[in-house]
Amino acid sequence: PGTMPKPDLAAMLASELGYTPLYLHYNSGRHISENGAAFAGQLQVLLENWPVPVQEMVVIGHSMGGLVSRSACHYAAVAGLGWLDRLRALVFLGTPHHGAPLEQGGQWLTMLLGQSPYTAPFARLGKLRSAGITDLGHGNLRADDWQGRDRFEASADPRKPVPLPPAVACYAIAATKGKQRGDLGDRLLGDGLVPVASALGQHPNPAMDLAIPVAHQWIGYGLNHLDLLDHPDVCAQVLQWLRQPA
């Protein structure tokens, strides 16, 4: 007997809840704010040209995709775009809402390597990281989070607060390689890329904390960052949430 095929979350949403799945392909080399603004415009065009009236929309974002989705909501609100009124839910899978330590470490390493003429060539290699990747250091969503700054220079968190859209149900799923919250694997590794607190939108500054209700949070233990894309337990949890009345 062969291995069981991995579930397809989009196909499950289509078959069980009647959604029409669409996929966003974006250039991860661009700033998240640039992709977010473009995504906001594309969703408006989609809404205006869909062959039947659109009743509701759900956006699911994995990793950087969740930041692009939040950025799109921000720019849609600024521009008064109508699709935001149709948005029923946002689902975040391993999204580094408050940054990824791996990229923050890259900023510090680039700075340290640049201090010596012997290691400066390695610092130049570190500066090959794309704009989108350096945005992951703190989870930049807006253009003014990065404009006028050296994106390779380690710095304090430059972001302005971007709250979640008020009339939209928001859900966050985090993964951790630990077997339980707070064990060594959980504290040191998270899902291998994103700490659990960042994925759940938690922040010690109340202005930055996303205040996602506990009932809208789920942690997958013993999972890594990529497992969130197609793990059966993740798919089941998303389906359970979206089955609930709006």
27-82 pLDDT, tens per residue? Answer: 888 899 999 999 999 999 999 999 999 999 999 999 989 999 999 999 999 999 99
Q: How far apart are CA 129 and CA 135, in angstroms?
A: 10
Q: How far apart are CA 60 and CA 69, in angstroms?
A: 8
Tokens 């990824």 -> residue: 100
Residue 6 has a pLDDT of: 74
Band the pLDDT of 197: cuts 50, 70, 90: very high
Q: Residue 91, Cα to own-chain centre: how many angstroms?
A: 9
Band the pLDDT of 228: cuts 50, 70, 90: very high
**Mean per-residue pLDDT of the chain:** 83
Sheet holding 57-62, edge to edge: 57-62, 87-93, 169-176, 217-221
Tokens 């700490």 -> residue: 195
**What is the DSSP annotation of 79-145?**
HT-THHHHEEEEEEES--TT--HHHHHHHHHHHHHTTSTTTHHHHHHHTTS-HHHHHTTTT--SGGG
The CA-to-CA distance between both ends of the chain, in Å, stands at 41
For residue 74, which of 170, 190, 161 has the smallest C-alpha distance? 161
Strands 87-93 and 217-221: what pairing?
unpaired
Which two three-digit tokens encode residue 56? 């509701």
Band the pLDDT of 189: cuts 50, 70, 90: low
Band the pLDDT of 177: cuts 50, 70, 90: confident
Inform me whether the pLDDT recorded for 180 exceeds 90.
no
* Percent with pLDDT over 70 in the chain: 78
Inform me whether the pLDDT recorded for 119 exceeds 60.
no
Inform me whether the pLDDT recorded for 111 exceeds 50.
no
Q: Are 216 and 119 in contact (CB under 8 A)?
A: no
Phi, psi of 91 (to 5 degrees): -120, 125
Residue 68 has a pLDDT of: 95
Inform me whether the pLDDT recorded for 232 exceeds 50.
yes
3.40.50.300, 1.10.1060.10, 3.40.50.1820, 3.40.50.261: which CATH number matches 29-101+167-243?
A: 3.40.50.1820
